[in-house]
Protein backbone atom coordinates (compact mmCIF):
# COMPACT_ATOMS: atom_id res chain seq x y z
CA UNK A 1 0.00 0.00 0.00
CA UNK A 2 1.32 3.40 -0.99
CA UNK A 3 0.83 6.63 0.97
CA UNK A 4 -2.20 7.75 -1.06
CA UNK A 5 -3.85 4.35 -0.71
CA UNK A 6 -3.61 4.54 3.08
CA UNK A 7 -5.16 8.01 3.01
CA UNK A 8 -8.06 6.69 0.89
CA UNK A 9 -8.58 3.76 3.27
CA UNK A 10 -8.68 6.21 6.19
CA UNK A 11 -11.23 8.42 4.38
CA UNK A 12 -13.43 5.37 3.71
CA UNK A 13 -13.35 4.37 7.39
CA UNK A 14 -14.31 7.91 8.45
CA UNK A 15 -17.15 8.04 5.89
CA UNK A 16 -18.38 4.64 7.07
CA UNK A 17 -18.51 5.74 10.73
CA UNK A 18 -20.23 8.97 9.71
CA UNK A 19 -22.79 7.08 7.59
CA UNK A 20 -23.62 4.63 10.39
CA UNK A 21 -24.01 7.54 12.81
CA UNK A 22 -26.24 9.48 10.43
CA UNK A 23 -28.58 6.59 9.67
CA UNK A 24 -29.09 5.65 13.32
CA UNK A 25 -29.52 9.29 14.39
CA UNK A 26 -32.06 10.27 11.71
CA UNK A 27 -34.43 7.45 12.60
CA UNK A 28 -34.74 8.35 16.26
CA UNK A 29 -37.32 11.04 15.56
CA UNK A 30 -40.25 9.24 14.04
CA UNK A 31 -43.03 11.65 14.91
CA UNK A 32 -44.79 13.82 12.34
CA UNK A 33 -43.52 12.69 9.03
CA UNK A 34 -44.58 13.54 5.51
CA UNK A 35 -44.17 12.29 2.00
CA UNK A 36 -42.98 14.78 -0.58
CA UNK A 37 -43.48 13.89 -4.22
CA UNK A 38 -41.59 15.77 -6.90
CA UNK A 39 -42.20 15.66 -10.62
CA UNK A 40 -39.94 17.44 -13.14
CA UNK A 41 -38.13 19.04 -10.21
CA UNK A 42 -41.24 20.63 -8.67
CA UNK A 43 -43.08 19.53 -5.53
CA UNK A 44 -46.47 18.26 -6.70
CA UNK A 45 -47.80 16.60 -3.54
CA UNK A 46 -47.14 16.69 0.20
CA UNK A 47 -48.91 14.03 2.20
CA UNK A 48 -48.67 13.70 6.00
CA UNK A 49 -47.54 10.16 6.76
CA UNK A 50 -48.76 8.06 9.67
CA UNK A 51 -49.89 4.49 10.26
CA UNK A 52 -53.43 5.22 9.07
CA UNK A 53 -52.60 7.08 5.85
CA UNK A 54 -53.92 5.06 2.96
CA UNK A 55 -53.68 6.54 -0.53
CA UNK A 56 -53.19 5.37 -4.08
CA UNK A 57 -52.33 8.20 -6.44
CA UNK A 58 -50.90 8.64 -9.92
CA UNK A 59 -48.14 11.20 -10.48
CA UNK A 60 -47.55 12.54 -13.95
CA UNK A 61 -44.47 14.17 -15.42
CA UNK A 62 -43.47 15.31 -18.89
CA UNK A 63 -41.76 11.95 -19.40
CA UNK A 64 -44.41 9.57 -18.07
CA UNK A 65 -46.27 8.59 -14.92
CA UNK A 66 -45.98 6.45 -11.79
CA UNK A 67 -48.64 5.08 -9.46
CA UNK A 68 -47.80 5.44 -5.78
CA UNK A 69 -49.33 3.53 -2.89
CA UNK A 70 -49.12 4.67 0.74
CA UNK A 71 -50.13 2.14 3.39
CA UNK A 72 -49.21 1.27 7.02
CA UNK A 73 -46.68 4.09 7.20
CA UNK A 74 -44.88 2.82 4.11
CA UNK A 75 -44.66 3.95 0.49
CA UNK A 76 -43.96 2.18 -2.77
CA UNK A 77 -44.42 2.57 -6.51
CA UNK A 78 -46.90 0.06 -7.89
CA UNK A 79 -46.61 0.92 -11.53
CA UNK A 80 -44.44 3.03 -13.78
CA UNK A 81 -44.27 3.89 -17.46
CA UNK A 82 -40.47 3.77 -17.40
CA UNK A 83 -38.42 1.08 -19.09
CA UNK A 84 -36.11 -0.21 -16.36
CA UNK A 85 -38.74 -0.34 -13.54
CA UNK A 86 -36.00 0.17 -10.95
CA UNK A 87 -38.43 2.33 -8.99
CA UNK A 88 -40.96 -0.51 -8.80
CA UNK A 89 -38.27 -3.09 -7.93
CA UNK A 90 -37.09 -0.95 -5.02
CA UNK A 91 -40.24 -1.90 -3.11
CA UNK A 92 -41.42 -0.27 0.10
CA UNK A 93 -39.62 2.53 1.95
CA UNK A 94 -40.58 3.43 5.51
CA UNK A 95 -37.64 5.18 7.20
CA UNK A 96 -37.35 8.94 7.48
CA UNK A 97 -34.91 10.20 4.87
CA UNK A 98 -35.47 7.41 2.39
CA UNK A 99 -36.45 8.13 -1.20
CA UNK A 100 -37.61 6.36 -4.31
CA UNK A 101 -36.43 7.88 -7.56
CA UNK A 102 -37.81 7.11 -10.98
CA UNK A 103 -35.05 8.69 -13.02
CA UNK A 104 -36.46 8.24 -16.56
CA UNK A 105 -39.72 9.86 -15.42
CA UNK A 106 -38.00 12.56 -13.34
CA UNK A 107 -40.21 11.67 -10.37
CA UNK A 108 -38.98 11.27 -6.81
CA UNK A 109 -40.71 10.39 -3.56
CA UNK A 110 -39.14 11.12 -0.18
CA UNK A 111 -40.10 10.55 3.44
CA UNK A 112 -39.09 13.60 5.44
CA UNK A 113 -39.11 14.37 9.16
CA UNK A 114 -40.81 17.18 11.05
CA UNK A 115 -37.92 19.71 11.01
CA UNK A 116 -38.97 21.18 7.69
CA UNK A 117 -41.26 24.20 8.00
CA UNK A 118 -43.00 23.61 4.70
CA UNK A 119 -44.57 20.43 6.07
CA UNK A 120 -45.78 21.99 9.31
CA UNK A 121 -47.85 24.46 7.38
CA UNK A 122 -49.64 21.58 5.67
CA UNK A 123 -50.22 19.35 8.70
CA UNK A 124 -51.51 22.05 11.03
CA UNK B 1 8.64 0.77 -41.01
CA UNK B 2 5.17 1.79 -42.02
CA UNK B 3 3.82 -1.75 -41.94
CA UNK B 4 5.22 -2.31 -38.42
CA UNK B 5 3.53 0.87 -37.28
CA UNK B 6 0.18 -0.04 -38.75
CA UNK B 7 0.51 -3.51 -37.25
CA UNK B 8 0.94 -1.98 -33.81
CA UNK B 9 -2.08 0.25 -34.45
CA UNK B 10 -4.13 -2.73 -35.55
CA UNK B 11 -3.08 -4.76 -32.52
CA UNK B 12 -4.07 -1.91 -30.24
CA UNK B 13 -7.41 -1.58 -32.00
CA UNK B 14 -8.11 -5.28 -31.53
CA UNK B 15 -7.21 -5.20 -27.85
CA UNK B 16 -9.41 -2.15 -27.29
CA UNK B 17 -12.31 -3.83 -29.07
CA UNK B 18 -11.91 -6.90 -26.87
CA UNK B 19 -11.83 -4.69 -23.78
CA UNK B 20 -15.03 -2.88 -24.83
CA UNK B 21 -16.75 -6.21 -25.59
CA UNK B 22 -15.67 -7.55 -22.20
CA UNK B 23 -16.94 -4.40 -20.50
CA UNK B 24 -20.37 -4.79 -22.13
CA UNK B 25 -20.64 -8.44 -21.09
CA UNK B 26 -19.50 -7.72 -17.52
CA UNK B 27 -22.04 -4.93 -17.26
CA UNK B 28 -24.88 -7.09 -18.60
CA UNK B 29 -24.10 -10.07 -16.38
CA UNK B 30 -23.29 -8.49 -13.04
CA UNK B 31 -26.08 -8.69 -10.48
CA UNK B 32 -27.29 -5.67 -8.51
CA UNK B 33 -25.79 -5.83 -5.03
CA UNK B 34 -26.70 -2.90 -2.84
CA UNK B 35 -29.98 -1.83 -1.23
CA UNK B 36 -29.98 1.22 -3.49
CA UNK B 37 -31.61 0.16 -6.76
CA UNK B 38 -29.48 0.36 -9.87
CA UNK B 39 -26.26 0.49 -7.87
CA UNK B 40 -23.75 -2.11 -8.97
CA UNK B 41 -20.19 -3.11 -8.31
CA UNK B 42 -19.20 -1.55 -11.65
CA UNK B 43 -17.23 -4.47 -13.06
CA UNK B 44 -17.10 -2.62 -16.39
CA UNK B 45 -14.63 -0.21 -14.80
CA UNK B 46 -12.06 -3.01 -14.94
CA UNK B 47 -11.75 -2.58 -18.69
CA UNK B 48 -11.47 1.23 -18.45
CA UNK B 49 -8.61 0.88 -16.00
CA UNK B 50 -6.92 -1.79 -18.16
CA UNK B 51 -7.23 0.47 -21.23
CA UNK B 52 -5.58 3.27 -19.26
CA UNK B 53 -2.75 1.08 -17.97
CA UNK B 54 -1.99 -0.59 -21.30
CA UNK B 55 -2.76 2.05 -23.90
CA UNK B 56 -3.24 5.54 -22.49
CA UNK B 57 -5.53 8.40 -21.61
CA UNK B 58 -7.63 8.92 -24.73
CA UNK B 59 -8.06 5.17 -25.17
CA UNK B 60 -9.49 4.91 -21.64
CA UNK B 61 -12.05 7.66 -22.39
CA UNK B 62 -13.05 6.00 -25.67
CA UNK B 63 -13.55 2.66 -23.89
CA UNK B 64 -15.60 4.37 -21.14
CA UNK B 65 -17.86 6.15 -23.64
CA UNK B 66 -18.38 3.27 -26.05
CA UNK B 67 -18.95 0.78 -23.25
CA UNK B 68 -21.73 2.92 -21.74
CA UNK B 69 -23.49 3.58 -25.07
CA UNK B 70 -23.24 -0.02 -26.34
CA UNK B 71 -24.39 -1.48 -23.00
CA UNK B 72 -27.49 0.69 -23.23
CA UNK B 73 -28.06 -0.55 -26.79
CA UNK B 74 -27.89 -4.18 -25.72
CA UNK B 75 -30.26 -3.60 -22.84
CA UNK B 76 -32.65 -1.77 -25.13
CA UNK B 77 -32.62 1.23 -22.81
CA UNK B 78 -31.77 4.33 -24.74
CA UNK B 79 -33.70 6.75 -22.60
CA UNK B 80 -31.52 9.89 -22.53
CA UNK B 81 -31.63 10.48 -18.76
CA UNK B 82 -30.33 7.09 -17.50
CA UNK B 83 -27.93 6.92 -20.46
CA UNK B 84 -26.52 10.34 -19.63
CA UNK B 85 -26.22 9.38 -15.94
CA UNK B 86 -24.37 6.16 -16.69
CA UNK B 87 -22.11 7.76 -19.31
CA UNK B 88 -21.40 10.73 -17.07
CA UNK B 89 -20.34 8.49 -14.19
CA UNK B 90 -18.21 6.31 -16.42
CA UNK B 91 -16.42 9.16 -18.22
CA UNK B 92 -15.86 11.27 -15.09
CA UNK B 93 -14.42 8.20 -13.35
CA UNK B 94 -12.11 7.66 -16.32
CA UNK B 95 -11.00 11.32 -16.24
CA UNK B 96 -10.35 11.16 -12.48
CA UNK B 97 -8.33 7.96 -12.82
CA UNK B 98 -6.35 9.47 -15.71
CA UNK B 99 -5.53 12.57 -13.64
CA UNK B 100 -4.37 10.51 -10.67
CA UNK B 101 -2.42 8.17 -12.95
CA UNK B 102 -0.68 11.04 -14.74
CA UNK B 103 -0.09 13.42 -11.85
CA UNK B 104 0.52 11.33 -8.75
CA UNK B 105 1.20 7.75 -9.79
CA UNK B 106 3.95 7.69 -7.15
CA UNK B 107 1.47 7.88 -4.29
CA UNK B 108 -1.30 5.62 -5.56
CA UNK B 109 -1.31 1.95 -6.54
CA UNK B 110 -3.72 0.48 -9.12
CA UNK B 111 -6.10 -0.22 -6.24
CA UNK B 112 -5.89 3.41 -5.06
CA UNK B 113 -6.57 4.73 -8.57
CA UNK B 114 -9.56 2.39 -8.81
CA UNK B 115 -10.95 3.54 -5.43
CA UNK B 116 -10.87 7.13 -6.69
CA UNK B 117 -12.60 6.02 -9.91
CA UNK B 118 -15.32 4.25 -7.93
CA UNK B 119 -15.94 7.26 -5.70
CA UNK B 120 -16.01 9.73 -8.61
CA UNK B 121 -18.36 7.46 -10.58
CA UNK B 122 -20.88 7.36 -7.73
CA UNK B 123 -20.59 11.06 -6.91
CA UNK B 124 -21.07 12.09 -10.53
CA UNK B 125 -24.19 9.96 -10.81
CA UNK B 126 -25.42 11.31 -7.47
CA UNK B 127 -25.08 14.92 -8.58
CA UNK B 128 -26.72 14.25 -11.95
CA UNK B 129 -29.69 12.60 -10.18
CA UNK B 130 -29.79 15.46 -7.66
CA UNK B 131 -29.87 17.97 -10.51
CA UNK B 132 -32.56 16.10 -12.44
CA UNK B 133 -34.92 15.51 -9.48
CA UNK B 134 -34.11 18.74 -7.53
CA UNK B 135 -34.74 16.66 -4.42
CA UNK B 136 -32.51 17.70 -1.53
CA UNK B 137 -33.76 14.74 0.54
CA UNK B 138 -31.45 12.59 -1.57
CA UNK B 139 -28.45 13.90 0.41
CA UNK B 140 -29.47 11.16 2.85
CA UNK B 141 -27.81 8.67 0.51
CA UNK B 142 -24.63 10.70 0.00
CA UNK B 143 -22.41 9.11 2.71
CA UNK B 144 -23.40 5.55 1.85
CA UNK B 145 -22.86 6.19 -1.88
CA UNK B 146 -19.45 7.65 -1.15
CA UNK B 147 -18.57 4.61 0.95
CA UNK B 148 -19.96 2.03 -1.50
CA UNK B 149 -18.17 3.75 -4.39
CA UNK B 150 -14.89 3.42 -2.52
CA UNK B 151 -15.45 -0.21 -1.55
CA UNK B 152 -16.49 -1.27 -5.05
CA UNK B 153 -13.49 0.64 -6.44
CA UNK B 154 -11.31 -1.31 -4.04
CA UNK B 155 -12.64 -4.69 -5.23
CA UNK B 156 -12.42 -3.60 -8.89
CA UNK B 157 -8.84 -2.45 -8.26
CA UNK B 158 -7.81 -5.81 -6.80
CA UNK B 159 -9.30 -7.67 -9.78
CA UNK B 160 -7.65 -5.25 -12.24
CA UNK B 161 -4.27 -5.65 -10.56
CA UNK B 162 -4.39 -9.43 -10.96
CA UNK B 163 -5.53 -9.14 -14.60
CA UNK B 164 -2.91 -6.49 -15.37
CA UNK B 165 -0.06 -8.65 -14.10
CA UNK B 166 -1.31 -11.66 -16.02
CA UNK B 167 -1.94 -9.76 -19.27
CA UNK B 168 1.19 -7.61 -19.13
CA UNK B 169 3.47 -10.02 -20.97
CA UNK B 170 0.91 -10.85 -23.65
CA UNK B 171 -0.26 -7.33 -24.48
CA UNK B 172 3.14 -5.67 -24.41
CA UNK B 173 5.29 -8.31 -26.15
CA UNK B 174 3.00 -10.55 -28.15
CA UNK B 175 2.47 -9.90 -31.83
**pLDDT exceeds 60 at position B142:** yes
Over 50: is that where the pLDDT of A92 sits?
yes
Could you say which DSSP state residue A84 is in? S
The stretch B154-175 carries a mean pLDDT of 86
Chain B residues whose CB is inside 8 A of the A27 CB are: none
Residue of B nearest to A23 (CA): B140
| Chain B residues touching residue A110 (CB < 8 angstroms) | 135, 137-138
> What digits encode the pLDDT tens for the residues B93-121?
999 999 999 998 899 999 999 999 999 99
Span B73-98, pLDDT tens digits: 888 777 888 889 989 999 999 999 99
Contacts (Cβ under 8 Å, ≥6 apart) of A103: A82, A86, B38, B81, B82, B85, B129, B132, B133
Chain B nearest-CA residue for A102: B133
What angle separates helix B80-103 from helix B110-133, to the nearest 10 degrees? 150
Q: How confident is the model at residue A118 (pLDDT cuts 50, 70, 90)?
A: very low
Specify whether A2 is located in the same domain as A21. yes
CATH number at residue A69: 2.60.320.10
Q: Tell me what the mean pLDDT of segment A92-100 comes to.
A: 90
Q: Say if residue B2's pLDDT is above 80.
A: no
Residue pairs spanning A and B at CB distance below 8 A: 100
Residue A13: domain span: 1-30
Q: Which residues of chain A have a CB within 8 Å of the CB of B111? A: 1, 5
Closest CA to A63 of A38, A88, A46: A38
Backbone angles phi, psi at B65, to 5 degrees: -65, -50
Kindly state whether residues A40 and A79 are assigned to the same domain.
yes
Which has the higher per-residue pLDDT, B14 or B2?
A: B14
Name the residue among B111, B133, B147 with its Cβ closest to that of A106: B133
Q: How far apart are CA B75 and CA B175, in angstroms?
A: 35
The per-residue pLDDT of chain B, averaged, comes to 89
Given this model, what pLDDT does residue B175 score? 47
Higher pLDDT, B106 or A118: B106
Q: Where are the domains of chain B?
A: 2-173
CB of A97 within 8 Å of a chain B CB? The answer is: yes
Residue A36 banded pLDDT, cuts 50, 70, 90: very high
ipTM associated with this complex: 0.85
Contact B77 A83 (CB under 8 A): yes
A31 band by pLDDT with thresholds 50, 70 and 90: low
Is residue A18 over pLDDT 60?
yes
Spatial contact of B144 and A21, defined as CB atoms under 8 Å apart: no
Same domain, residue pair A26 and A37: no
State whether B82 and A84 contact (CB < 8 Å).
yes
pLDDT attached to residue B77: 72
Tell me, yes or no, whether A57 and A13 share the same domain: no
Task: Tell me the per-residue pLDDT of B10-52, one tens digit each, with 9 for 90 and over.
Answer: 888 999 999 999 999 998 888 776 666 667 788 889 999 999 9
Tell me the sheet residues that pair with B101: none
Highest mean pLDDT of the ranges B65-69, B158-162, B167-171: B158-162
d(CA A20, CA B77): 35
Mean pLDDT score, A63-70: 94
Q: What pLDDT is stored for residue B169 in this prediction?
A: 85
CB distance B141–A99 less than 8 Å?
yes
Classified by CATH at the fold level, domain B2-173 comes out as Arp2/3 complex 21 kDa subunit ARPC3 (1.10.1760)
Same domain, A25 and A42: no
Number of folded domains that form chain A: 2
Amino acid sequence: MKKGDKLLALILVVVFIFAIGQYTFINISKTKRAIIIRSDGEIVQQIPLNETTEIITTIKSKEGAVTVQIKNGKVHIIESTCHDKLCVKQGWISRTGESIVCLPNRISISIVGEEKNEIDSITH
Amino acid sequence: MKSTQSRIKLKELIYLSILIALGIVLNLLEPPISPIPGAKLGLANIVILLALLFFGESEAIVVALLRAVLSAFFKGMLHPIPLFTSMGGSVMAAIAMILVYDLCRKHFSIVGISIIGGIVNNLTQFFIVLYITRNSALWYYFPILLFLGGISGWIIGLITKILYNKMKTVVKNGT
